[in-house]
Amino acid sequence: MPPHIALLRGINVGGHRVKMDRLRGLFVEMGFEEVSTFITSGNLHFSSDTTDAGEIRKTIEEGLARALGYQVETFLRTPDRLAEIAGYGATAGSGAPEWRAADEAAHYVLFLHGPAPEALRSALAELESDTDRFTFDGHEAHWWIRGKMSESPLFGGGLERVLRAFPNTMRNMNTLRRIVPKVSPPNG
């Protein structure tokens, strides 16, 4: 059964509290196997006999809406794709800012359902500054911050206002790099 990673939006933020054992149980009830969670922000690793990502996403979103009483936007990736994402920007010429390797730089990944539409690319380009840069790779947008997130002029709503029109969920690159070894097959 092929493995998948589900990145859920809005779990354990904004008053939507869900214990991870309950979330794992809900995934099992939806027919998924080998379910595990990482951190309490809605990161799940599971297997499914279905390979159709659209069908898996629909099953998860409908099942969680019934069980929790609210919509939970779901973003799926394979373990291999998550490993690629976690390595993005590690080398020169990757499109990442030249200051990416600095100790004080932060890196967040915005997961999208498809390639970033031109309207999102343009909106994020308008938000760029000496502190904030955006790059794109596949179905992800990378937000690079010179310093901590709280030091960015986009912290506290500037970025959120732009993103409202585009379904997404965000994860810190450090979190992704901690997840990858847990979801990668041995010797993989």
- Give the model's pLDDT for residue 10: 82
pLDDT at 188 over 70: no
Those residues whose C-beta lies under 8 Å from the C-beta of residue 74, and which sit 6 or more positions away, are 6, 7, 8, 9, 57, 60, 61, 64
- Give the model's pLDDT for residue 26: 96
Band of the pLDDT at 97, cuts 50, 70, 90?
confident
Query: Which one, of 115, 111, 113, 150, lies nearest residue 132 by Cα?
Result: 150
Whole-model pTM: value is: 0.91
Convert the pLDDT of each residue in 29-61 to its tens digit: 999 999 999 988 889 999 999 989 999 999 999
- Give the model's pLDDT for residue 142: 94
pLDDT at 162 over 70: yes
Q: How far is residue 150's CA from residue 21's CA, in Å, rounded to a whole number?
A: 31
119 C-beta neighbours (distance < 10 Å), count: 11
Convert the pLDDT of each residue in 116-156 to its tens digit: 999 999 999 999 998 999 999 999 999 999 988 888 999 87
Q: How far is residue 115's CA from residue 57's CA, in Å, rounded to a whole number?
A: 17
Band of the pLDDT at 17, cuts 50, 70, 90?
confident
**Which of left, alpha, beta for 52 (phi over 0: left; psi -120 to 50: alpha)?**
beta
2 three-class SS: coil
Convert the pLDDT of each residue in 55-91 to its tens digit: 999 999 999 999 999 999 999 999 999 999 998 877 6
Go through the chain and tell me how many residues it has.
Answer: 188
Q: What is the DSSP string of 130-185?
A: SSEEEEEETTEEEEEEES-GGGSTTTTTHHHHHHTTS--EEEEHHHHHHHHHHHSP
End-to-end CA distance of the chain: 17
Band of the pLDDT at 176, cuts 50, 70, 90?
very high
- Give the model's pLDDT for residue 157: 79
Residue type for position 130: D
Phi, psi (deg, nearest 5) at residue 69: 85, 15
Residue 188 DSSP class: -
Band of the pLDDT at 93, cuts 50, 70, 90?
low
